[in-house]
């Protein structure tokens, strides 16, 4: 795993240099965040879903904003359990972009820590678990990355991701939050009640 990360620093798949493929990769990336976020009870908010045409390969899917506290600071054990569930869903949502992108582009590699999504998941684990980088990295690799891959392989989730990515490309790279949420509602992806958000 560690060696793989070293290699990834110079890793650059050919689709990064082909504009049409890069567009497709970005659409699947953002769709991955949107559908997995939806699965965890979140809706697309504010700025909707957008592919950034000025900076190729970048995009934005606005569902974020949840705030997590260190487990020690969270009251009783039920609340702590809820916090762990939230940590799980936040991390998986964050990693879902690359999981969807790589599946769409038939890439078997995993991401590097230079990627902000992976970095964000790692920082969340560190702050909620109050652990160091290495422990967080193990948890990320052995718990959250496999869980994200499993989720993206789920048939309904993958079909949902394909639908959102297709609609995003059809709409020239922008779906408003209303439009995105109505597409999500029709995908057949079951939304899990977000009661543990609070």
> Which residue has the closest beta carbon to Zn ion?
97
Are 4 and 110 in contact by the 8 Å Cβ rule? The answer is yes
Q: How far is the CB of 131 from Zn ion (least distance, A)?
A: 24
Q: How far is the CB of 96 from Zn ion (least distance, A)?
A: 8
CB contact burial 119-147 (16+ within 10 A = b; e otherwise): ebbbebbbebbeeeeeebbebbeeebbeb
Q: How far is the CB of 132 from Zn ion (least distance, A)?
A: 25
48 vs 97 by CB, closer to Zn ion: 97
37 vs 97 by CB, closer to Zn ion: 97
Pairing of strands 49-52, 58-61: antiparallel
Positions that interact with Zn ion (CB under 5 A):
97, 117
Q: What is the C-alpha separation between 158 and 106, in angstroms, rounded?
A: 14
Instruction: At 5, list the tokens.
Output: 């990360």
117 vs 167 by CB, closer to Zn ion: 117
Q: How far is the CB of 18 from Zn ion (least distance, A)?
A: 20
90 vs 117 by CB, closer to Zn ion: 117
């Amino acid at each position: 795993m560690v060696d793989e990360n070293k290699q990834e620093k110079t890793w650059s798949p050919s689709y990064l240099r082909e504009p049409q493929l890069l567009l497709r990769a970005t659409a699947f990336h953002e769709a991955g965040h949107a559908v997995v976020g939806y699965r965890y009870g979140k809706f697309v908010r504010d700025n909707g879903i957008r592919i950034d045409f000025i900076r190729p390969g970048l995009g934005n899917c606005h569902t974020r904003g949840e705030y997590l506290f260190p487990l020690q600071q969270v009251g009783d054990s039920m609340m702590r359990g809820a916090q762990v569930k939230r940590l799980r869903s936040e991390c998986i949502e964050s990693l879902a972009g690359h999981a969807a992108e790589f599946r769409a582009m038939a890439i078997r590699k995993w991401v590097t820590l230079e990627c902000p999504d992976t970095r964000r998941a790692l920082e969340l684990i560190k702050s909620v678990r109050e652990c160091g980088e290495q422990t967080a990295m193990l948890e990320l690799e052995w718990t959250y990355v496999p869980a994200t891959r499993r989720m993206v392989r789920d048939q309904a989730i993958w079909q949902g991701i394909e639908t959102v990515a297709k609609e995003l490309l059809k709409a020239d790279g922008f779906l408003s939050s209303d439009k995105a949420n109505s597409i999500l509602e029709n995908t057949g992806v079951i939304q899990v009640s977000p009661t543990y958000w609070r």
